[in-house]
Chains A and B, each alone.
Chain A
Amino acid sequence: MKRTLANVLPPAVIAVLVLAAWEAVVRLRHTPEYLLPSPLRIAAALRDDWPMLYPSLLQTLAITGEALLAAALLGAGLAVLLIQAKWIERSLFPFAVILQVTPLVAIAPLLLIWIKDVRFALVLCAFLVAFFPVAANTTLGLQSADHHLLDLMRLYGSSRWKVLRFVRLPSALPYFLGGLRISGGLSLIGAVVAEFVAGTGGAASGLAYRILEAGYTLQIPRMFAALALLAGSGVLLYALLSGLSHLLLRRWHESAVRRENRQT
């Protein structure tokens, strides 16, 4: 409990201070709302527009979640495939890199044209940015297995599958989870970018669409409210993935183990 408090309190204090300063500056300088709404005004917009923003939030979160799930499964799957042989890695990995370095905004319009189902196209866009960290990290993890343990498995004449199950996959777990944490944020960004590109043409109306729409109609407080929801979702997603990582690694991995009075 103490630790949680120590983790939460300092950033909370800073947030309150910044918001208070923001509120004060806007009030004292009489900044017009369409340039910079005050935090309280944004909170009011969040409350008033909740019936409109909430479904959009769910929409964006669903796309993010589906993309992240696909990234986790296919990223890990690709990693397992890549380590089977050097030639497989050499033939496939460059394409994963190309996919990673191509800006999403550049390919999203094409994908939206090619794919009839807009929602599926959005998930695909978010997936494309999210899957690389999982794939690259898991590959590294699978290759980082203790070579003495691998020798031991060889000594016992273990099959490829057994080596994977008993040694490589557990070794790769911390790396996979690290990749997943990065991918969580990226899939949210991917979903938002794709929604932006889809714009009003998109039948799906996520938070990015709300931001665009509010921008066109100069409803700046609503725009900020949608932004706040996005930021909040990002933080929550990161916290969830960190929690998952801690839960799975707390017994053995250095990153998650709490060092009390160590026994020697």
Chain B
Amino acid sequence: MLPAPPLKPVVRLHQVTKRFAGGTEALAGLDLAVAPGELLALLGPSGCGKSTALRLMAGLAEPTTGSVERRLPDPHSVGFVFQEPTLMPWATVEDNVALPLKLLGLPRAEIRRRVAERLERLGLDGFARAYPRQLSGGMKMRVSIARALAAQPRLLLLDEPFAALDEITRWRLNDELLDLWRAEGLAVVFVTHSVYESAYLATRIAVLSARPGRIVGEIAVDAPSPRGADYRGSEAYLRTCRAVSTKLAEALGES
């Protein structure tokens, strides 16, 4: 186990178990803390309760036993990106991104300004008036991320956000996510079942065992902060991938 993160965690799951009404045990004794400003990957086989852990962090579900401690000032301090883009089909791109700000009741001019800024940062400025159905999968996901970031959260949770995208789009969005994370200085937790994605993006990788999920290993990734195409070919990256794969194999072997 690694030493606890030095800063007070944004979210801490303490000995959390989650059992669903049907009797399925999704998580068993999960301990996990998310430090401010880190990029944490939750990696595990499908159905290991990764998404459940994320929903617990978001406050969308309650643990059966154990506790979830959230050090966030208000509900808008969390941004959530689902597996699907989950956009409102009846609203334009800008209206979709504006949703959290409208819910906050900000003045119109302020909403317009912030939305324009968001769209620009994600390369969506030409699509403000487009409807989701007119966009490709990658663009929809960008809108979804723009919406999650609209209210300037301190914690961004992503649930396998790029799983349905093609590899080229996926790599580009990986880089964009890294850029955003660096620029905004927020804590990011993302769920993935890709070893390569987690090794490329994360500053820390938590490997979960198959259901019921618990943490079987943590890997801190020491890598240069602006990671790019070079990093994908570097020795350090491959070493991380190998270490993560070994842990994952252990996780699967155990269950």
Contact = CB atoms under 8 A, between A and B. Distances in A.
A155 B75 contact: yes
B76 A156 contact: yes
B103 A173 contact: no
Interface residues of A, number: 24
Nearest to A173: B90
Interface string A158-184: 100010001100110100000000000
B103 A156 contact: yes
Interface in A142-162: 146, 148-149, 151-158, 162
Interface stretch (B11-19, B130-138, B195-203): B130-138
Contact of B134 (A153, A162, A263): A263
Contacts of B133: 252, 254, 257
Given A252-B131, A264-B136, A154 B86 contact: no
A251 B90 CA distance: 7
Nearest to B60: A151
Nearest to A262: B134
A158 B99 CA distance: 11
Given A166-B99, A166-B102, A252-B131, A155 B60 contact: yes
By secondary structure, the A interface counts as: helix
B88 A155 contact: no
B149 interface: no
A252 B60 contact: no
Contacts of A257: 133
Contact of A162 (B78, B103, B131, B132): B103
Interface residues of B, number: 25
B58 interface: yes
Contacts of A154: 60
A152 B80 contact: yes
Contacts of B100: 156
Contact of A170 (B88, B131, B132, B134): B88
Interface string B48-75: 0000000000111000000000000011
Given A154-B60, A155-B58, A148 B86 contact: yes
A27 B90 CA distance: 56
Nearest to B78: A155
B82 interface: yes
B99 A252 contact: no
A253 interface: yes
**Most chain-B Cβ atoms within 10 A of its Cβ — which of A146, A148, A257?**
A148
9 contacts: A148-B84, A154-B60, A156-B151, A157-B74, A162-B103, A166-B88, A170-B90, A254-B133, A257-B133
Given A166-B103, A264-B136, 15 more contacts: A151-B60, A154-B60, A155-B60, A155-B78, A156-B75, A156-B103, A156-B151, A158-B103, A166-B99, A170-B88, A170-B91, A173-B90, A252-B89, A252-B90, A257-B133
